[in-house]
Chains A and B, each alone.
Chain A
């Protein structure tokens, strides 16, 4: 039930932003539509709705956005240099990294963050074994543990505080 209410609030918020500036008609339609969506799909949204009450998680999420933005900027400079470099300094390969995150949404965020940061692209996630297969544009090490340290750890620490 709580999961449905959270989904209703989020859906209504997005609706209000989409139909900005909102008037009476828009709000009424928004309530009906997000109510229907929340009624039918609300149980799929989250399994642990009590996590939404923790304030520290939002603060960590904000910190994560800052870290992520900076890494994303560095990634772009890096790839842009590789694109215009006349000799194309590529050293690509697919390596294996481990992760200890178990939660679906945390794994999704981790994989997406890895894709948007320097020279790495997540190819597959093996949830049962806790492995990530990452395409790396400049392979610095083939060893699983060292690669985990370089690629995964800086996000994993923050994401564990947010979602686990």
Chain B
């Protein structure tokens, strides 16, 4: 039963990781790509780690899976925030069909 549940988690995780990578290729500009890269890949990787934890239980490796999960949730959004801010400061334009850009209005 536990094995089955963990396989389900790992499967979901792999699916979301795949979709995240597809989004990285398909989306038009830096900011949209960051959205796909952050959300899907964070959730997918967390799901894989949780599935691995379910298989291993409270062993040495299982606990490390849980710790890695916490650190990914903390660091991944921070990294994407830094990337988005840096590329905006460096003058990377938004996609031409974007609706509005309040950030460049305010910083001028």
Chain A contacts to B: CB under 8 angstroms: 14, 17-18, 20-21, 72-73, 75-76, 79-80, 82-84, 88, 90-96, 108, 111-112, 115-116, 119, 121-124, 131, 133, 135, 137, 139, 142
What are 29 A-B pairs with beta-carbon distances under 8 A? A17-B63, A18-B67, A72-B43, A76-B16, A76-B43, A82-B23, A83-B36, A84-B19, A88-B27, A88-B28, A90-B28, A90-B32, A92-B97, A94-B88, A94-B98, A94-B104, A96-B103, A108-B78, A112-B74, A115-B38, A116-B38, A121-B35, A121-B38, A121-B81, A122-B77, A123-B81, A123-B103, A124-B85, A137-B35
Instruction: Knowing A84-B22, A142-B100, say if A76 contacts B39 (CB, 8 Å).
Output: yes
Chain B contact surface mostly: helix
**Distance (whole angstroms) from the CB of B44 to the closest CB of chain A:** 8
Q: Is the CB of A14 within 8 A of B67?
A: yes
Instruction: Knowing A93-B98, A94-B102, say if A123 contacts B88 (CB, 8 Å).
Output: yes
Q: Is the CB of A92 within 8 A of B43?
A: no
Q: Is the CB of B42 within 8 A of A83?
A: no
**Distance (whole angstroms) from the CB of B53 to the closest CB of chain A:** 12
List the A residue with the shortest CB-CB distance to B74.
A112
Interface residues of B toward A: which range? 35 or more
Chain A contact surface mostly: mixed
Q: Is the CB of B94 within 8 A of A137?
A: no
